[in-house]
């Protein structure tokens, strides 16, 4: 697995070229088509961009991401390049504009190699909900790669791109990163523009990178972040400079850890890896403190009430009239009904029904309003947590990757596997998953670090240091 930072050095020392890298990745994508990670490959444009990147390197004018080969989750709009969201509903949909992140990556010299498979409209934790088939885990095909950004995780873990982008509404970057043994980062809500990201739950969604190194993660954050007039929820802040800040030193870092009862439900591998990592942190000089986690029992229910409520509103635009799939007007159904009946898969329908229910006038106070109140408690709870520590250290997932079919028949057990990831989205804070070795089934294990809002740079710095410790 190559990191872009290493590749860039090699190009600068004339040991390789961007054209060679693109050819290599195009070939690998074809050879590993069994993984089903890519839905569209951007062959011609990637080749052309690679040529231009090589000229820039020759002229000694490379931009920050010059020649970085990036795979893009298929719910991020790419001009003229099919963007399906893993749904039949958008089977042939070619956006007429680029998402802001795509513009920024291209302007910085990044090469878009293709679009990656994902759970339909980013709803899922295993990639079993894509209308285009499962994405397979690159280490063992019987296991899920995680979701919903499974294709993007596999693109990096399987050596099909330097880096990739996913979207994280409740863990969809961090969880597949953990399952695949790579880095996955969800920045602070509002750090990165969502313009052009097809909305699942707008108040929770955030775009972020997958990578093999913290350096690459930082480069992508610095390129994509910063205020965007096209997304009024972006923070009015300049782009981060986390890459240059990676070598700063933080004195007296206190790491918060979970009380034992919060590990109930984790499998043995995760618990023992968690304790080992804490021991390593302690011996390397970090202060460790066990923190109370207020409102933890509300995390999953609050997330699934609010996310489905927002999803039901966001997905109402898919009506068969303006774009995308259109169902037939026969068999006693109108176009609207047949479009939505035939265009959406079962998990998306389940969420629309749940979301419509919690928003309905008779139940609004009991569910949606309560959910909003509980969200405030989660947010305030994190204020208390970060008053006691600089970063919170916790597992990314209660287990390593599970097998296909293991949870797909029982949605609640699937939802419960998001236990450690959804709270960061509810609170809007940055969170990163880093690889820490393998579990007993030889599948990768990930641990998570979370920090207070807008502490993205510090979080990446501490993640770099801890990753070196765990390596
Ligand atoms: N697994 C979670 C869900 O199904 C998270 C999805 C996401 O982050 N996009 O909702």
Centre of ligand 1 from the C-alpha of residue 19, in Å = 36
Q: Which atom of ligand 1 is nearest to the CA of 123?
A: 4
Q: According to the model, what pLDDT value does residue 2 have?
A: 73
Centre of ligand 1 from the C-alpha of residue 456, in Å = 21
Q: Is 291 left (phi over 0), alpha (psi -120 to 50) or beta?
A: beta
375-384 pLDDT, tens per residue? 999 999 999 9
Task: Classify residue 78 by its DSSP letter.
Answer: B
Centre of ligand 1 from the C-alpha of residue 168, in Å = 7
Which of 144, 172, 308 to mutate for ligand 1's pocket (most ligand atoms within 8 Å of CB)?
Answer: 172
Give the active site residue among 172, 193, 417, 433.
172
**Residue 172 in 3-state DSSP?**
coil
Tokens read off for 10: 């090699």
Centre of ligand 1 from the C-alpha of residue 452, in Å = 21
Tokens read off for 44: 């011609």
Q: According to the model, what pLDDT value does residue 116 have?
A: 98
How many Å apart are CA 315 and CA 320, to the nearest integer? 12
Neighbours of 255 (CB within 10 A): 21
Give the active site residue among 5, 77, 87, 148.
148
Q: 308 CB under 6 A from ligand 1?
A: no
Q: Is 202 an annotated catalytic residue?
A: no
- Helices H / strands E in the chain, number of each: 16, 11
Neighbours of 404 (CB within 10 A): 17
The residues pairing with 446 across neighbouring beta strands, listed in sequence order, are 435
Peptide bond before 148: cis, by omega within 30 degrees of 0? yes
Closest Cα to residue 447, out of 175, 237, 95, 59? 175
Exposure string for 256-277, b = 16+ CB within 10 A, e = fewer? bbbeeebbeebbebbeebbeeb
Rg of the chain (C-alpha set) = 21
Tokens read off for 106: 């291209």
Tokens read off for 150: 């499974």
Residues 6 or more apart from 13 whose CB is under 8 A from it?
Answer: none
Give the active site residue among 3, 5, 49, 73.
73
Asked whether residue 56 is domain-assigned, the answer is yes
- For residue 206, the domain's CATH number is 3.90.1300.10
Tokens read off for 300: 């999953």
Asked whether residue 189 is domain-assigned, the answer is yes
Asked whether residue 338 is domain-assigned, the answer is no
Asked whether residue 348 is domain-assigned, the answer is no
Q: Give just the sign of the alpha carbon dihedral 395, 398, 403, 407.
A: negative
Centre of ligand 1 from the C-alpha of residue 402, in Å = 16
Closest Cα to residue 435, out of 404, 402, 405, 463? 463
Asked whether residue 270 is domain-assigned, the answer is no
What string of DSSP letters covers 34-88?
GG--EEEE-HHHHHHHHHHHHHHHHTT---TTTT-EEEEETTB-BTTB---TTSG
Reported in sequence order, the residue ranges of 168-281 that DSSP labels E, i.e. its strands, are 183-186, 207-211, 254-257
Q: According to the model, what pLDDT value does residue 323 have?
A: 82
**Residue 185 in 3-state DSSP?**
strand
Neighbours of 30 (CB within 10 A): 12
Q: According to the model, what pLDDT value does residue 346 have?
A: 97
Q: 382 CB under 6 A from ligand 1?
A: no
Q: Is 172 an annotated catalytic residue?
A: yes
pLDDT mean across residues, the chain: 96
Asked whether residue 450 is domain-assigned, the answer is no
Which of 120, 416, 418 to mutate for ligand 1's pocket (most ligand atoms within 8 Å of CB)?
Answer: 418
How many Å apart are CA 67 and CA 61, to the nearest integer? 12
Half-sphere exposure in the Cβ direction for 229 (13 Å, CA): 0
Tokens 């765990």 locate to 470
How many Å apart are CA 254 and CA 105, to the nearest integer? 34
The residues pairing with 288 across neighbouring beta strands, listed in sequence order, are 255
How many Å apart are CA 269 and CA 231, to the nearest integer? 41
Helix H or strand E segment including 289: strand 287-290
Spans in the chain with pLDDT lower than 50: none
Beta strands across the sheet bearing 69-73: 38-41, 111-116, 69-73, 163-167, 207-211, 183-186, 431-438, 444-451, 391-395, 254-257, 287-290
277, 447 Cβ separation under 8 angstroms: yes
Q: Is 458 an annotated catalytic residue?
A: no
Asked whether residue 219 is domain-assigned, the answer is yes
Q: Which atom of ligand 1 is nearest to the CA of 169?
A: 8
The residues pairing with 257 across neighbouring beta strands, listed in sequence order, are 290, 393
User: How many independent structural domains does the chain possess?
Assistant: 1
31, 62 Cβ separation under 8 angstroms: no
Global pTM reads 0.97
Q: According to the model, what pLDDT value does residue 470 have?
A: 87
241-298 pLDDT, tens per residue? 999 999 898 889 999 999 999 999 899 999 999 999 999 999 999 999 999 998 889 9
Q: Which domain holds residue 24?
A: 4-224
Q: According to the model, what pLDDT value does residue 1 have?
A: 52
Q: 184 CB under 6 A from ligand 1?
A: no
Asked whether residue 13 is domain-assigned, the answer is yes
Tokens 């035939």 locate to 342
The protein residue with its alpha carbon nearest to ligand 1, atom 10, reads 123
The protein residue with its alpha carbon nearest to ligand 1, atom 4, reads 124
Q: Is 131 left (phi over 0), alpha (psi -120 to 50) or beta?
A: alpha
């Amino acid at each position: 697995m190559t990191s872009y930072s290493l590749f860039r050095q090699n190009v600068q020392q004339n040991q390789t070229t961007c054209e060679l890298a693109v050819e290599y990745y195009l070939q690998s994508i074809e050879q590993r088509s069994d993984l089903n990670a890519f839905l569209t490959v951007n062959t011609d444009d990637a080749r052309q961009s690679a040529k231009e990147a090589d000229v820039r390197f020759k002229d000694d004018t490379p931009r920050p991401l010059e020649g970085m080969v990036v795979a893009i989750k298929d719910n991020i709009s790419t001009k003229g390049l099919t963007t399906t969201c893993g749904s039949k509903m958008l089977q042939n949909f070619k956006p007429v504009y680029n998402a802001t992140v795509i513009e920024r990556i291209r302007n910085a010299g990044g090469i878009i190699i293709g679009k990656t498979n994902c759970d339909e409209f980013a709803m899922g934790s295993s990639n079993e909900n894509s209308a285009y088939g499962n994405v397979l885990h690159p280490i063992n095909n019987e296991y899920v790669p995680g979701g919903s950004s499974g294709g993007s995780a596999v693109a990096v873990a399987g050596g099909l791109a330097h880096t990739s982008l996913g979207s994280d509404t409740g863990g969809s970057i961090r969880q597949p990163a953990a399952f695949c043994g790579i880095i996955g980062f969800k920045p602070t809500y509002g750090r990165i523009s969502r313009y052009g990201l097809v909305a699942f739950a707008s108040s929770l969604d955030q775009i972020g990178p997958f990578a093999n190194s913290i350096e690459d993660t930082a480069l992508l954050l610095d390129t994509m972040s910063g205020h965007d007039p096209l997304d009024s929820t972006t923070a009015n802040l300049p782009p981060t400079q986390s890459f240059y800040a990676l070598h700063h030193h933080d004195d007296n870092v206190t790491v918060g850890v979970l009380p034992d009862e919060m590990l109930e439900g984790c499998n043995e591998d995760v618990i023992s890896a968690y304790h080992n990592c804490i021991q390593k942190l302690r011996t390397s000089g970090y202060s460790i403190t066990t923190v109370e986690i207020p409102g933890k029992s509300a995390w999953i229910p609050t997330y699934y009430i609010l996310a489905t409520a927002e999803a039901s509103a966001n997905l109402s635009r898919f009506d068969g009239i303006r774009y995308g799939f259109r169902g037939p007007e026969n068999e006693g159904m109108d176009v609207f009904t047949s479009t939505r009946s035939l265009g959406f898969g079962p998990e998306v329908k389940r969420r629309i029904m749940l979301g419509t229910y919690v928003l309905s006038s008779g139940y609004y106070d009991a569910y949606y309003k309560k959910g909003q109140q509980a969200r405030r408690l989660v947010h305030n709870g994190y204020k208390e947590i970060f008053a006691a520590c600089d970063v919170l250290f916790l597992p990314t997932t209660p287990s390593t990757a599970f097998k296909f079919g293991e949870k797909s028949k029982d949605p609640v057990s699937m939802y419960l596997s998001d236990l450690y990831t959804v709270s960061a989205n509810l609170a809007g804070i940055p969170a990163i998953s880093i690889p820490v070795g393998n579990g007993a089934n030889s599948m990768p294990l990930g641990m998570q670090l979370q920090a207070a809002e807008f502490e993205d740079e510090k979080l990446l710095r501490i993640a770099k240091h801890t990753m070196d410790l765990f390596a």
